[in-house]
Amino acid sequence: MRRWIIASVVGLAIAASVPATAQLAKEDDGGVKVRRLSMMRNLVSAAKLEQAALQQYDQLRSQATTRNALIAADDPLAKRVQRVAQDLLPHAAKWNPRAKAWKWDITVIKTPAINALCMPGGKIAVFTGILDALKLTDDELAVVLGHEMAHALREHARARTAKVTLTNVGTLAIGLVIGGNVGELARQGGGLLALRFNRDDERDADLVGLELAARAGYDPQAGITLWQKMTQAAKGTPPTWLSTHPSGEDRERRTKAALKDVMPLYEKAKASKPPAAAPAPTAN
């Protein structure tokens, strides 16, 4: 998204992207309807963009480590985020075959920023602010993670990197794209963490995120309560946040409209889940 952020101690900007075509596509066995992928993304090498994303992700982790803000992988909070994310991962390749080869990684960073992100190549960062301020349930967390994963799976950053650079530097950018210097493209575009996705991309990610959550057995109705919480948290937010994001009310309305497409997926996933293990007996 870039997206949920209200304030950031590490200076991350909210994201937004290029409009794809207005044509809708229906994906395989039911689910949501989404726009066709932007053809502009083909100007940028996916593999090289993912490499640039890895470098910036490593920098983010390094900065968090320096600030003693990197939550250990064995911390209960990190384990919770990892568990929910792992449930969603088996359903990612439907939206992008490259996701099968991605080396997914999940980082939790201690900061009051209400934010989360997933970079090209499957590098996920969740800020504790979004967990604490919104008091997310697992279902709501699944919707958040699904939304972020959707940005990567739908290659919004790839399309945006191409467009913002071509817009900014014209012919020079074309040479860079053809030459495959994606790292330079990312720098000229302000860095992948600073890319801005537009409202259409946010709506796209909302829908795909709902489906990912539903297929993983998380209640997509949590998207309604999530956006209600976001609307409350966003009060007093500068206009720039609202300028690139659909309003909370709009997202709530669209979530309700999408339930007819994703609730059957949720019910199917829930029915196929193994029963929870009985608690171990306590010693007398």
Q: What is the pLDDT along the chain (284 residues), one digit of tens a residue?
A: 544 433 332 322 223 232 333 333 344 567 888 878 777 776 778 888 899 899 999 999 999 999 999 999 999 999 999 999 999 999 999 999 999 999 999 999 999 999 999 999 999 999 999 999 999 999 999 999 999 999 999 998 888 888 776 665 554 444 444 444 545 544 544 466 666 787 888 999 999 999 999 999 999 999 999 999 988 887 765 443 344 566 777 888 999 999 999 999 999 999 987 765 544 444 54
27 is catalytic: no
Angle of helix 138-153 relative to helix 222-233, nearest 10 degrees? 90
Instruction: Give this prediction's pTM.
Output: 0.79
- The one catalytic residue in 148, 202, 211, 252 is 148
Residue 239 CB neighbours (<10 A)? 6
Collapsed DSSP state (helix, strand, coil) of residue 13: coil
Angle of helix 76-88 relative to helix 199-215, nearest 10 degrees? 90
What is d(CA 203, CA 16) in angstroms, rounded to the nearest whole number?
A: 11
